[in-house]
Amino acid sequence: MLANLPPLRFRGRRLAALLIAAALALPCGVAGAQETAAEAPAPETPAETAEAALAPDAPAAAPEDVAAQAYATKCMGCHTIGGGALSGPDLKPSAAWPRKNLWDAIKRMEKNVGPMADEEIDLHTDFLLAVDAAERIAEAQKQAALRHAATMEPASADTGRALFLGRTPFANGGLACGACHQAGGRGGSLASSLEDAFTRLGEAPLMAACESPGYPVMRAMYLDSAQPVTRQEALHVVKYLEQVSGQPQSAISIPLHLLGVLGAGGTVVLLATRYKKTPGGTRARLVARACRKQDTGQDQGV
């Protein structure tokens, strides 16, 4: 009976059968696709990625200690906490002071570090009264070094020497350190020698003294005149001071032409001294001879 059907109708029945079979297979395919999608992990959102970065296995960065950083910037160049006296006294004993007395003492430091709001004085007072102040300073310096390491070029003693002696000018136009200080056998004598400054003070106080000097003269020359030393420059200068610290002072070399001038001057002084001791002129010599003869005649009873 099927053989008697027209070819067109036979093809239509085959097509219908294929469509029915596909329809029956479709739910299985959809279920398989859903199963595969369920097995695949969902893409991470930015929040999830950030949360994964702060997982327990990844050490989180320590929060910045604002009080310790403020002390390192304004006070460390002159004072330590338990490290002995620098140009200013050791501040460790101040932890036992009454809070009001300590607050007033910090207020008086405005003449060296510039005006401070009451909130800033409160910050310094609370910090100096804390029993772990010294440890917090050390940790703050460590964190600061890590933050700046990625943006700073390595410290160079050669670059520091050029900055110290003024061969390379500071970026903001500040006066060269060697105009007043001496280090490595070179420089001026208007201020204290820095030959062994690194040994006496250490890196952190020297960095603070370069970047934010508390000495009135230095503050006027660099901060008040808007000519501060940059942190990168301070790194180079401190590296130079580290290199020369503890070394014997190099002999001062005198140029040959200066030796000639000194020699000529010495000769003139010598001749002038001899000239004063020797009677001058013919008349003076005759008078001296007559005096000697007269003295001789008197001795002989003439």
Render 35-86 in DSSP notation, one character per residue: HHHHHSPPPPPHHHHHHHHTSTTSPPPPPP-HHHHHHHHHTTTT--SSS--S
| Burial degree of 1 (CB within 10 A; 0-12, 13-18, 19+) | exposed
CA dist., res. 278 & res. 102, Å (int): 73
To the nearest 10 degrees (0 to 180), the angle between helices 203-211 and 66-74 is 70
E strand or H helix that includes residue 241: helix 231-244
Cβ of 253: how many Cβ atoms within 10 Å?
7
Q: With 90 as the cut, is the pLDDT of residue 100 above it?
A: yes
Q: Which two tokens stand for residue 34?
A: 């859903």
Confidence (pLDDT) at 114: 83
Confidence (pLDDT) at 180: 93
Q: What percent of the chain is predicted at pLDDT more than 90?
A: 28
Q: With 70 as the cut, is the pLDDT of residue 29 above it?
A: no
Q: Which two tokens stand for residue 111?
A: 């003449």
Q: Tokens 């001789």 correspond to what residue? A: 296
Confidence (pLDDT) at 84: 84
The answer to whether the pTM exceeds 0.85 is no
CA dist., res. 136 & res. 147, Å (int): 16
What value, to the nearest 5°, has the Cα angle with vertex 73 and ends 179 and 123?
Answer: 145
Confidence (pLDDT) at 208: 80
Pick from 194, 186, 179, 236: nearest CA to 211: 236
Please say whether the beta carbons of 195 and 57 come within 8 A. no
Pick from 254, 73, 245, 248: nearest CA to 161: 245
Which of 140-154, 172-186, 259-273 reaches the highest mean pLDDT? 172-186
Rounded to 5 degrees, φ, ψ at 187 are: 120, -170
CA dist., res. 151 & res. 145, Å (int): 10
E strand or H helix that includes residue 182: strand 182-183
Confidence of residue 254 (pLDDT cuts 50, 70, 90): very low
Please say whether the beta carbons of 213 and 223 come within 8 A. yes
Confidence (pLDDT) at 265: 52
